[in-house]
Amino acid sequence: MHLLHKTVTIVLLFLFVKYLKCNAEFESSSFNIKIAKHKSPFEVLINSVKELKTYGIDFTNILTENRTNDSVALYRYLDNEYYAQIRVGKPSQPMNVAFDTAWTATWLMSEQCPWTTIGCIGHDKYDHSKSNLYKKDGRQFKIEDEGYNLTGFFSYDVLYVSHINVTDQMFVEMTSVPYTYIFSKLDGVIGLGLQIDAYVPFFYNLIQQKKIENPLFSIYLNRDKQSDHGGNIILGFIEKRHIHSHKDSNNQTIYDDILYLPIKSGTYWQFDLDKVFLNGSKDANITLCSSGCTALTDTSSNSIYGPKDQVDQIHNNINAKPWLLGRYSVACDTISKLPEIIFYIGGKPFSLKGRDYTIQMTWHSLSICLSAFIGDNSLNNMWGLGGAFLSEYYSIYDLGNKQIGFVKAA
Ligand SMILES: *[C@@H]1O[C@H](CO)[C@@H](O)[C@H](O)[C@H]1NC(C)=O
Ligand SMILES: *[C@@H]1O[C@H](CO)[C@@H](O)[C@H](O)[C@H]1NC(C)=O
Ligand SMILES: *[C@@H]1O[C@H](CO)[C@@H](O)[C@H](O)[C@H]1NC(C)=O
Ligand SMILES: *[C@@H]1O[C@H](CO)[C@@H](O)[C@H](O)[C@H]1NC(C)=O
Ligand SMILES: *[C@@H]1O[C@H](CO)[C@@H](O)[C@H](O)[C@H]1NC(C)=O
Ligand SMILES: *[C@@H]1O[C@H](CO)[C@@H](O)[C@H](O)[C@H]1NC(C)=O
Ligand SMILES: *[C@@H]1O[C@H](CO)[C@@H](O)[C@H](O)[C@H]1NC(C)=O
């Protein structure tokens, strides 16, 4: 039961509410959710291998063998680091959720998830029988993606996020989640993806119920990797203090310009990526996605996903070696010498230094430096820009004008 105890105690977090009374531009109907992150999901996993055997789960194979469907699902899941607390139902039930730009349907673990489902162990589960505002839908939800099995049914209830509420939000009560969720801090996910069918996502309801004035949100992820303050999801406005700035000759603060790009159709916040350039450390430079490709943002992950052959070229150039779960490691003492990797978006360079695209984790007395890049061919040649990119660049999701914006974060 030691593991359960650990899982429950580290989910605690404090919701931070910020009213921008002093900012006339955005004086009302906007709010800011502080998101937390937990330290190292890999660490939890590796330290849990023995304990999990008591539940009949043997991860030794997954950890030591080559990439399998199980390991794909596992590390995808383990990258979910950013989460915040919301409340559901009336009287309200607290739950920890990720705000995921690469996912549309909100879901919450259900009280009906049977005790035999290992992934639900240790989580807060939504019990609709205890809520006066629950409304039944009952239609089934099922997704099976490379062994990633999520099964449940739709319900409606009120969600309390920061200081506001959204009533009659439709979401999935999940009755089956992959066993890997035992490592997670997450009891569910708020989908911030785009509406593509009759399902009304959370942010659309927020707008329809006139809970925010400006139909946009923005996401700041903390660059301090040691901090447990993961960043902020800012609903309804752009927070200038997160934008990089300089002082001009009159000592006026000049903020960097936000680059906006039209969003392409689909369920993700997709946009055109011109190319990816690695300013060669070895003998040559590398240009990836050389005739242009599509990228999306993924706030649920710390990583940067790209087509496997292209990510392999990056790893080859930075001397990264295969580690576990399809991840690659680099020698920690080379990080300061790693080449810059530059994403050209809208003709402008968005560069990442070695320390930005590596994640250092400490496991017992050992330090491991993992590359944030993950080769993944399931995204149809798209690049998925997660925390490693989004903590350098503040991102703005302007639903009203169907555009996405990026600017260097302060
Ligand atoms: C993993 O793959 C490598 C090379 O493809 C191979 O040499 C090794 O035996 C494989 N390991 C396992 C445990 O299958
Ligand atoms: C992974 O799953 C797909 C279908 O879900 C299957 O076709 C494929 O063979 C599986 N691969 C491995 C390595 O198990
Ligand atoms: C997915 O989970 C559901 C519910 O537990 C189960 O009925 C189904 O067989 C599972 N599917 C796979 C492919 O494991
Ligand atoms: C939702 O918030 C409004 C104020 O914005 C309040 O009048 C209403 O009672 C709240 N609804 C619930 C279910 O808490
Ligand atoms: C510029 O403004 C800051 C406060 O905003 C002040 O501390 C500083 O002295 C000013 N510098 C000059 C050169 O006026
Ligand atoms: C690539 O690196 C070289 C040498 O460090 C530098 O002079 C050049 O400006 C860099 N190019 C880009 C596009 O950043
Ligand atoms: C790599 O690109 C940089 C900047 O664009 C350039 O200065 C350098 O000469 C190039 N190196 C090689 C080997 O092509």
- The atom number, within ligand 2, closest to the CA of 68 reads 13
Give Cβ neighbours of residue 336 (< 8 Å, ≥ 6 apart).
354, 355
Question: What does the pLDDT read at residue 181?
Answer: 78
Q: What is the pLDDT of residues 56-74, one digit of tens each?
A: 556 555 555 444 444 444 4
CA–centroid distance, residue 64 to ligand 1 (Å): 9
Give Cβ neighbours of residue 188 (< 8 Å, ≥ 6 apart).
95, 96, 97, 98, 106, 107, 108, 109, 126, 171, 174
Helix ranges (H only) for 84-201 are none
Question: What does the pLDDT read at residue 93?
Answer: 97
Closest residue by CA, ligand 7 atom 13: 284
Q: What is the pLDDT of residues 278-289, one digit of tens each?
A: 987 556 789 999
Question: pTM for this structure?
Answer: 0.79
More confident call, 141 vs 360: 141
Q: What is the mean pLDDT of residues 16-21?
A: 22
Q: Which helix (H) or strand (E) holds 5?
A: helix 2-9
Q: What is the pLDDT of residues 106-126, one digit of tens each?
A: 999 999 999 888 889 889 999
Q: What is the mean pLDDT of residues 181-193?
A: 85
Q: Catalytic site residues? A: 100, 298
The torsion angles phi and psi of 62, rounded to 5 degrees, stand at -65, -40
Question: What does the pLDDT read at residue 50?
Answer: 61
- CA-to-CA distance for 269 and 350, rounded, in angstroms? 18
Give Cβ neighbours of residue 316 (< 8 Å, ≥ 6 apart).
none
Question: What does the pLDDT read at residue 27?
Answer: 32
Closest residue by CA, ligand 1 atom 10: 66
Q: What is the mean pLDDT of residues 222-239?
A: 78
Tell me if 385 sits within 8 A of 297, measured CB to CB. Answer: yes
Share of the chain above pLDDT 70, in %: 75
Domains and CATH numbers, the chain: 2-220 (2.40.70.10), 243-408 (2.40.70.10)
Question: What does the pLDDT read at residue 49?
Answer: 60
Q: What is the pLDDT of residues 299-333, one digit of tens each?
A: 877 889 999 999 999 999 999 998 876 789 999 99
Question: What does the pLDDT read at residue 258?
Answer: 98
Which range, of 39-53, 150-164, 307-321, averages the lowest pLDDT? 39-53
More confident call, 359 vs 205: 205
Which ligand neighbours the alpha carbon of 322 most closely? 1
Closest residue by CA, ligand 6 atom 11: 279
CA–centroid distance, residue 239 to ligand 1 (Å): 48
Q: What is the pLDDT of residues 61-110, one digit of tens each?
A: 555 544 444 444 444 444 545 778 899 999 999 998 888 898 889 999 99
CA–centroid distance, residue 296 to ligand 1 (Å): 32
Tell me if 245 sits within 8 A of 255, measured CB to CB. Answer: yes
Q: Looking up tokens 């006139």, which residue turns up?
A: 210
